Structure formats: C-alpha cells, structure tokens
Amino acid sequence: MKLPARLTGLGMIAALFSATATAQTAEGVAPIIPLYSKGTVTSLGVPEIRLKQPTGDTLIFNVSEPALELFRPAPGRANGTAMIVAPGGGFVGLGYEAGGTAVARRLAQEGITAFVLKYRTIRSAPDPMQLPEVHLKEMDMLMTRAKSGVPIEMPPFAGEQHAVEDGARAMRIVRHRAPEWGIDPRRVGVIGFSAGAYLAADLAIGDKASRPDFVALLYGGLRTPVPADASPAFIAAAADDEYQPNDAALLYGAWRQAGAPAELHIYERGGHGFDLQPKGTTSDRWFEELIWWMQSRGLVGSAGMRPE
C-alpha cells in the first residue's frame, strides 16, 4: 500500500496474446503488452494520470488499460526464469518506478526476464492527492489493526478483485508467449510490494491455471485459505512497518500450517516500502536474499546458464 506520506491515509483469441505496443521510457523504447483488447474492460471514464515525485518515483492513477512492460536480460544472459512485478499503491495508484521498473531492471541483471504489471486501480478524485473515501476507511482499519496487534485478515480492498484478474491474465499471457521470450513456462513467478503483495498472495492461493510457480511477498498481508500446493513463497517485511507489523509472520504461519514451502525474513528496521532504496538497515539486503532463495530452489543459476 505504499503511497507518499501526504497520501497516507486463455479465453481470448490467440491474436490478443501476441498484441504488443511500445512506449517511450527513460531507458528508450520498451515493449508494452496490453492485457486485453481495446474496450474489453470497462473504463473508469477519466484519463490516466502520471505524477513524477521528487524521489524520482512515478505514481500512476486511474488505470483502465492494464498492461505489462517487458524488461529483458542482456543478450546471452537470460536464464529462462521470469518474474512479474506488481507495484504497491493501495489499489488507488501504482508506485511504478520504486516498486516496479527499478526492481525489473535489477531482476534483468540477474538473467531474469521481468514484466512490470500495470494493473487496474480504482477511480481517483480530480486531484489524485485527495484519496477516495473508501481508501481512507481502509487505511483507518489498517492503522487500528496495527495498533491493536490483533492477528486478523484484512477484508478485500476496493479494486483488489480487478487487480487480481489482471495478474491472472498476465500469468496466462507470459506462459503462452514463453517460447517467444526464452522463458520456461514452469518458472514464472510474481513479486509484489504492499498492495501488489496482496495481489501476488491472491494468485499464489488461487486458480491453478494462473497460479505462479513461486512468489515473493514484500510487506504485504494475509490471504486465505492457503492450500498445501500454494506457490512457494519468499516473505519479507520490517518489524517497524507502521501499517502491517505482524502480517509477514501471519503469512508465514498460514503457509507453514498448510504445508506449503515458505521462507520468512523480518528485518528489525526498514519501515513500510523499503523497496531498493538504501536505508542503512538490514532490509537493504532483501534482494540478494531473494536471489539466494531462488537459487536454492533451482529457479535461477548463473547468468547465461539455464538451471537443470
């Protein structure tokens, strides 16, 4: 649910799977893969808004046209593993750089083909800095829950269902087009941050047809019921997370109780939304620990080499 401090508070035809557009980014022309054909999903009726933050992050609001942005490893370095990156933003907006493209670029450096998921959000006010009433209520519930320490599961968030539909669609597209991108369709994972971690957890315990082969859940929350064959999970958060101080432990407990593989990292400090920005805390090492976990599970090997 990461937002800036001031904001706190395949059933389709095969042709659609091969649809690709391009968009200009700071790195040049990046492939954009629409999740649906034009007009398939209901529009929010307002234009998409992108706001550049002083931190360098880009916030995207009013997403009606979900898509994937592709980040490929350098030639000869791809190892056949893919990961879909789901940014946070409370299902109101998307922290697209810090919890999206920056992570995708790091994954590509490790030989992992990465896709940033621009999933649908709820409609914002004309001034996107004015949070929707429903989200303010959700934030109040989160804060009350955090202060009480009561280990309860948060109800579904407004917009979560559409976001999960987009995540499932993205999984099917990546697996369908795996040969085109040099991906092993049995090694497609999802990494989610905050709201994106809720999305990833939903997929990890959901329909087997779109269930990821593994997930990484960063400062997200519990989703149940967890089946015994849930996606193997790497779970990470900070003990001083002001919104969800206990959720990582809840996630791990639910996975282990179900008999599903999971690894837990709770850092002493790091807060909510540590992303890849150095904080001088042990949370700075989460990405390396994720890669070690993936290596131990045979999901990645040395760059340029496909794991057996």
Q: Which domain holds residue 96?
A: 30-296
Per mean pLDDT, which range of 15-19, 236-240, 298-302 is the poorest? Answer: 15-19
Give me the pLDDT at residue 30, please. Answer: 64
Has residue 144 been placed in a domain?
yes
Tell how far CA 26 is from the center of its chain.
21
pLDDT tier at 118 (50, 70, 90 boundaries)? Answer: very high
Give the 3-state DSSP-derived string for the chain, with helices as H, strands as E and coil as C.
CCCCHHHCCCCCCHHHHCCCEEEEECCEEEEEEECCCCCCCCCCCCCCEEEECCCCCEEEECCCCCEEEEECCCCCCCCCCEEEEECCCCCCEEECHHHHHHHHHHHHHCCCEEEEEECCCCCCCCCCCCCCHHHHHHHHHHHHHHHHCCCCCCCCCCCHHHHHHHHHHHHHHHHHCHHHHCCCCCCEEEEEECHHHHHHHHHHHCCHHHCCCEEEEECCCCCCCCCCCCCCEEEEEECCCCCCCCHHHHHHHHHHHHCCCEEEEEECCCCCCCCCCCCCCHHHHHHHHHHHHHHHCCCCCCCCCCCC
pLDDT at 124 over 80: yes
State percent of the chain over pLDDT 90: 74
Has residue 87 been placed in a domain?
yes
Dump pLDDT digits (tens) for 99-117. 999 999 999 999 999 999 9
Dump pLDDT digits (tens) for 195-239. 999 999 999 999 999 999 999 999 999 999 999 999 999 999 999
pLDDT at 167 over 50: yes
Has residue 23 been placed in a domain?
no
Has residue 236 been placed in a domain?
yes
pLDDT at 23 over 50: no
Has residue 22 been placed in a domain?
no
The CATH number of residue 201's host domain is: 3.40.50.1820
Has residue 307 been placed in a domain?
no
pTM: 0.89
* Euclidean distance between the first and the last CA atom of the chain, given in angstroms as a whole number: 37
The count of domains in the chain is 1
Has residue 9 been placed in a domain?
no
Dump pLDDT digits (tens) for 280-297. 999 999 999 999 999 999
pLDDT at 84 over 50: yes
State percent of the chain over pLDDT 70: 88
Has residue 18 been placed in a domain?
no
